[in-house]
Amino acid sequence: MPPRIIDSLATTEALAEVFSDRQVLQAMLDFESALARAAAREGVIPQGAAEAIACAAAAENFDSAELSSKAQRAGTPAIPLVKSLTDRVRAADPIAARFVHWGATSQDVTDTALILLLKGARKILSTDHDRLLIALRKLASEHEHTVMLGRTLLQPAPPVTFGLKAAGWFAALKRGWSRIDTRFAEAEAIQFGGASGTLASLGDRGDAVGHALAAELSLKYPDAPWHAHRDSLAALLAACSVQCGSLGKMARDLALLMQGEVAEAAEPGGDGRGGSSTMPHKRNPIACSLALASAQRVPGLLASFLSSMVDEHERGVGGWHAEWPIITSIIQALDLAVASMAEAAEDLTVDAVRMRANIDATRGTIFAERVMMLLGATLGRDVAHKLLEEAARRSLTENRRFVEVLADLPEVTRVIEPGTLRTLDTPEDYLGMAAIFQKRLLER
């Protein structure tokens, strides 16, 4: 389903569907039907009651708007949902209605439903990450030898390769997804503790019903209920937030490379993408904008979740009530950033000629470090540094190649042979370990 207009720059359609009212409602109902089946399997409630409950637990049978309205008065959507489900079961089987929500508490419903929704989100995120990583590996491989300016503090620096830059993005995002996937796996456990987290209402059958419930929902059964312990969710959201930061770094790099004065790379355009309402010539970095919006929004959301972790005793007041919009916003923001960067990377235009031209525009001053290392052993590093600072200034003010200015300096020509001096501004000869670093980043 398409997102609401107000969320159109905050989520993808796929994630909007995962967290839609219908899916949230169905996830809560899936908990209730699975609980009934598990309790029946363990002989706690009649099998017929479980069948009647499961039959009634379909989202299309319920009014999500009504439940949403009643949730504000109840403090949780679980209470009006359980009442409505009980009424629907009673209409078909009055005896079965006695066993709806048997042994559970409201937070069992909402927490497990959340985990089920996150499990669905995980699949979508995994697919979008695969797209992005494949595209970045391809970019890195294709541009292993494409030289470009290194930039430090946004100023020209010795050359790098675009392949190394893309490999850096790839490796950071691959590490990030590995962390996220691990945290998803840790968090995918049911919540089932009853009133105070002891399952006392089920007597000696509580643990058996819990194991059966986890099996019904294909989730893990935790060592104990986690009503007031939100660390697994916090770890997942922290990993997602770090990934948003890595995606934001990639987006910032690309947006800067797209600047007209730089023009070394460009996102795909066309079909209503990247234009301007007033300037027909514009090709705006839309994918980068969306990823950066996520990267800027998510840290505050994570801080809000961390603040909500301080739950009181066995069930908190307000902490877990705050979580749903925070969690869904972070997960949706992450997928928007991943999908946006995947689209950009898959059809990215890389202008190798412009990259070389921007290197040449420095007149070779970016190779001052290289010359300093050659002179340093003879003149001393500090003396060479001062000498080359003045030479770089002259190169720019006199509009001359850096090596031409150096050829006029006897301090330089006494140390460096003319043939060597003439080729000191060849970028391919000053890439150091770039190829090796790129290979390591892609392989690991």
Provide the annotated active-site residues: 276, 315
Look at residues 262, 297, 306 and name the one whose alpha carbon lies nearest to residue 162. Answer: 262
How far apart CA 108 and CA 110 sit, in angstroms, is 6
Helix or strand holding residue 155 (H, E): strand 155-161
Phi/psi of residue 211, each to 5°? -60, -45
CA atoms within 13 A on the CB side of 159: 31
Spatial contact of 274 and 367, defined as CB atoms under 8 Å apart? no
Residue with tokens 């993005």: 169
> Which residues, at least 6 apart from 16, have a Cβ–Cβ distance to it below 8 Å?
1, 2, 3, 4, 7, 332
List CB contacts of 359: < 8 A, sequence separation 6 or more.
Answer: 147, 148, 149, 159, 366, 427
The neighbour count for residue 63, using CB atoms within 10 Å, is: 12
Pairing of strands 155-161, 147-152: antiparallel
Do the beta carbons of residue 45 and residue 36 sit within 8 Å?
yes
Three-state SS for 364? coil
Of 26, 25, 39, the C-alpha closest to 96 is 39
Report in angstroms the alpha-carbon separations of 120 from 127, 184, 234, 240: 11, 11, 18, 15
Minimal CA–CA distance to 55: which of 29, 23, 24?
A: 29
Rounded to whole angstroms, the Cα distance separating 25 from 354 reads 53
